[in-house]
Structures are given as C-alpha cells and as structure tokens.
Amino acid sequence: MIVVPYVAVPLYLMIGGRKYRKLIREKGGVVFGDTEEEFIGDLHPIDTLLRNFGIPGACAGNSLDVFQTGEETFAALMEQIEEAQESIFIETFVFTLDSTGQAIFDALVRRAREGVTVCLLVDGLGSMHFKQRDFKPLQDAGGQGAIFLPVLRLPFQGKTNTRDHRKMAIFDRARVIAGGSNLAEEYMGPTPLPDRWKDINFRLEGPAVRHYMAIFRSDWAFATGAPPPEAKRPVQHRIDPSSTKLQVVPSGPDIPSDSLYYSVLTAAYLSASRYWIATPYFVPDDTLCEGICLAARRGVDVRIIVPSVSNHHLTDLARSTYLRRVIASGGTVVRYNRMFHGKTVIVDDTFALVGSMNADRRSLFINFEVMLGVYDAGLIKAIEQWNHMLMADSVEGIHSANRLRLMYERAVSLIAPQL
C-alpha cells in the first residue's frame, strides 16, 4: 500500500481483508445449536480441537456412501432429486447450463412444479455466466434461486475476494450429497467423458445432516434476506446400525476461527504413519508446509498428490516451491497425469477429510468451505482407494527448474494468498 498506493488501495477496497468484518456482521455466524454430540468411545484429538473451537462434535449413527466417479455422483444426485418428497436445497460454486447442468436444472423445475420446495444457491463469481434471469423457469414453477455475493454489485465493498466454495445438495433435510464436484459436465454426467476431471463425493444420511442444513440455512438467509422455508413435517433421521462417526467441519468468514486450517495443521503433527493430501491446488502457508515437512522428517509417509498440470497455470507455478520443500524433507510428490478436482486428507488409519477445501490459502483462509471429517476405518479405506486410483496413473517428483523458472515461481509466490 505504501510503495504502490494507486494500485494497492483500490485493490484492498475491492477485495477486503481475510475475514472482512462488514461481511461477518452482515452474515452472522452459522447457528449449529448444541455442538456437543454423544457417541461411544474416546474423543479423537482432532474432534477435541474442533469442539473447543465451537464446531459440532463428531456424531455416530450416520451412513456414508463414497462416489469415486462423476457418473456415480450424477446418478445419485438425479436419483435423490426424483425421490425427494419435501425439499431440495442445493448450494454450489459453479453451475453451468451445459448438458449436465441443464439436466439437473430441468429436474429441479419439474420437482418444484410437483410441489417440492426447491432452493438453488450459486456463487456470483464461480457461476458468473448464470444470470438472475436464468432462474425464471424455476421461479415460475414455484422454486427459488439466488446468487451468493453477485460480483457486479460488489465493487469497492471488500467482498469480491470472498467466494462461496461450498458444495452440497440436501434432500428432505435428511440426506446430503456433497464433496468436491460442481454442477457441470467436466465434473459429472450420465456417461463417461475422456477429459472429465476425477473427483470424489459422498452421500450422507444421519444426524450429521442437520449440520449441513444449518450451514445452508445461514448461507441462504444471507443471500436472500430470508431463511429457507420451514419443514412441512418434522425430520426423522434414520439411524444406521453401523454407527459411523462423522464430523461436519466448515470454514470461512462466518466461522470465528480458522478451525479447518488448524485441524489440517494439527493432523500433520499428530500423524504417526502417514499423511496424504490430494488436492488440485497446493499453495499452503509456510506454517502448514513446515508441519508437513517435519512429519516427513519424522519418518511419516507424506504424499502430496496433485495434477501434473492443473487448470490454473499461476497456481502450478506457485506450488513448485512448496513441493520442492516437501521432497527435500523426505516426502513424496505424486503428479496425476490429468486434471483432478477432488480434495482429501488422510491421517494414519484414524482420520480423513473429504469435501470442498483445496490445500491452498484461498480455501484455508478466505472462501466459505465445508469438509466432512471421517473417523471410520472402513470409510477411510474407501477414500484411500480413490487416492490409489490417482497414484496408479501418476509419476513421482517434479521437473527440475532453471533460473528463469525459479524467478517466475518467486514472483508468483508474492500473490500466493490470492490464488
């Protein structure tokens, strides 16, 4: 700001601070109610940490199905849309009216016409090409649509930099489909595409669904000025006898602390046998990178799985410095031969995260995100299998860099927090 005030001051007025206070005051926090959950067994250290930050504790009695392809996710999403009896609430970063998006939108319109409560929330930047007028068929059918922080209405209000990167679809307030996928054909669809990005998603049923519902209720009320319609009848959560222990972990300006970041950082120090991160964009802060490197030096199996080339060239440049630090510390960098979009963290055999958070500073500190913490060994194995699927079509290490490349990387690192 001092050196280049004519550039820096307007940019600051446009994008605001990391947790822009006016935005926090306007939106308010997510109201989860009682954050203490009962379950059988001892608290995992990550669970204890998150509870102390006010995040709902892990709860038992859930069932979870992991989808390892975009075709599985699309089929499950369309099935839930068709089977919904009371309500459909969808929140996404990208919604594109291509063949996939149009099929989903048409199904939502049809269900709204049949009397199901339908609310569709899209981000103003991620879905920039989706205009308010595009909601008209849904609104005419009795549904509702809203744009989260429209870009064109935000100049010099400090909100442009904060985006809703959460991805969730809630059916009858009792079932959730969530993960890393946006609603467009590069993420999912009815038939395989050779260039479709690999992603991982899941279907959740059980008590943890109400925490997703609390997040959606807060986001929808902020975007529209009113909460979503109340349930037409009480929600009864079917408790699966498998008693799977799960924890919903949100982050963003509406969460008082950087609890998700702290859980990822703490997990690096707690890890005893392995610490795997699969992410399309790896631009951590220095503290997290150091924690990962120290885990590798302790002999932990540290693996960072990234696309060989992602869809963001600047991010690929910025990540190289951090990947070299991991390799120098004894960790392994695995480059998948194509683009993938899934986001997972696996710690030993006791804890995993899956959801919308990239391992970059934008996801960790700026955007609205939500991850699911998994404490079940069988489900961790399913997430591990998706990681192995990536590694089976990958190469280890990164390319050597000449002085010009290193200069570019250092220059890009200056803007790493905004990537």
State mean pLDDT over 367-376: 96
Residue 314: pLDDT band (50, 70, 90) is confident
**Gap between the Cα atoms of 140 and 120, Å rounded:** 14
- Inside any domain, residue 3: no
- Inside any domain, residue 8: no
**Gap between the Cα atoms of 224 and 247, Å rounded:** 28
State mean pLDDT over 243-269: 93
**Gap between the Cα atoms of 343 and 200, Å rounded:** 7
State mean pLDDT over 42-64: 93
Name the percent of the chain lying above pLDDT 90: 74
Residue 148: pLDDT band (50, 70, 90) is very high
**Gap between the Cα atoms of 417 and 404, Å rounded:** 22
Q: What is the pLDDT of residue 162?
A: 84
Q: For residue 312, is pLDDT > 90?
A: no
Contact (Cβ atoms closer than 8 angstroms) between residue 341 and residue 312: no
Q: For residue 213, is pLDDT > 90?
A: yes
Average pLDDT of the residues of the chain: 89
pLDDT for 77-87, tens place per residue?
A: 999 999 999 99
> Worst-scoring range by mean pLDDT, 5-14, 236-245, 271-280, 345-354?
5-14
Q: What is the pLDDT of residue 338?
A: 95
Q: Any residues with CB less than 8 A from the CB of 329 and at least 6 apart, and which?
A: 292, 293, 294, 296, 297, 302
**Gap between the Cα atoms of 305 and 203, Å rounded:** 24
State mean pLDDT over 205-211: 94
Q: For residue 158, is pLDDT > 50?
A: no
Q: What is the pLDDT of residue 101?
A: 98
- Inside any domain, residue 1: no
Residue 108: pLDDT band (50, 70, 90) is very high
Q: What is the pLDDT of residue 84?
A: 97
Q: What is the pLDDT of residue 151?
A: 79
Q: What is the pLDDT of residue 287?
A: 97
Q: Which residue has the higher pLDDT, 124 or 17?
A: 124
Q: Any residues with CB less than 8 A from the CB of 286 and at least 6 apart, and which?
A: none
Task: Identify which of 346, 364, 340 has the alpha carbon closest to the alpha carbon of residue 286.
Answer: 364
State mean pLDDT over 365-386: 96
State mean pLDDT over 101-125: 97
State mean pLDDT over 241-250: 83
- Inside any domain, residue 4: no
> Worst-scoring range by mean pLDDT, 60-74, 148-162, 309-323?
148-162
- Inside any domain, residue 279: yes
- Inside any domain, residue 212: yes
Q: For residue 351, is pLDDT > 70?
A: yes
Q: What is the pLDDT of residue 317?
A: 85
State mean pLDDT over 323-328: 95
Residue at 332: amino acid letter: T
Name the percent of the chain lying above pLDDT 70: 83
Contact (Cβ atoms closer than 8 angstroms) between residue 341 and residue 363: no
- Inside any domain, residue 133: yes
Q: What is the pLDDT of residue 272?
A: 98
Task: Identify which of 362, 412, 387 has the alpha carbon closest to the alpha carbon of residue 304.
Answer: 387
**Gap between the Cα atoms of 366 and 19, Å rounded:** 7
Q: What is the pLDDT of residue 419?
A: 55
Domain that holds residue 409: 13-418
State mean pLDDT over 212-235: 91
Residue 233: pLDDT band (50, 70, 90) is confident
Q: Give buried/exposed letters for 297-324 (b at 16+ CB in 10 A, else e).
A: eeebbbbbbbbeebebebbbbbbbbbbb
> Worst-scoring range by mean pLDDT, 210-224, 235-249, 362-376?
235-249
- Inside any domain, residue 310: yes
State mean pLDDT over 212-233: 93
State mean pLDDT over 42-69: 94
Contact (Cβ atoms closer than 8 angstroms) between residue 279 and residue 197: no
**Gap between the Cα atoms of 135 and 109, Å rounded:** 10
Q: How far is CA 350 from CA 43, 274, 373, 376, in A?
A: 11, 10, 10, 7
| Secondary structure, 3-state, the chain | CCCCHHHHHHHHHHHCCCCCHHHHHHHCCCCCCCCCCCCCCCCCHHHHHHHHCCCCCCEEEEEEEEECCHHHHHHHHHHHHHHCCCEEEEEECCECCCHHHHHHHHHHHHHHHCCCEEEEEEECCCCCCCCHHHHHHHHHCCCEEEEECCHHHCCCCCCCCCCECCCEEEECCCEEEEECCCECCCCCCCCCCCCCCECCEEEEECCCHHHHHHHHHHHHHHHHCCCCCCCCCCCCCCCCCCCEEEEEEEECCCCCCCHHHHHHHHHHHHCCCEEEEECCCEECCHHHHHHHHHHHHCCCEEEEEEECCCCCHHHHHHHHHHHHHHHHCCCEEEEECCCECCCEEEECCCEEEEECCCEEHHHHHHCEEEEEEECCHHHHHHHHHHHHHHHCCEEECCCCCCHHHHHHHHHHHCCHHHC
Query: In this structure, what CATH number is given to the domain that contains residue 58?
Result: 3.30.870.10
Total structural domains in the chain? 1
Q: For residue 405, is pLDDT > 90?
A: no
pLDDT for 288-300, tens place per residue?
A: 999 999 999 999 9
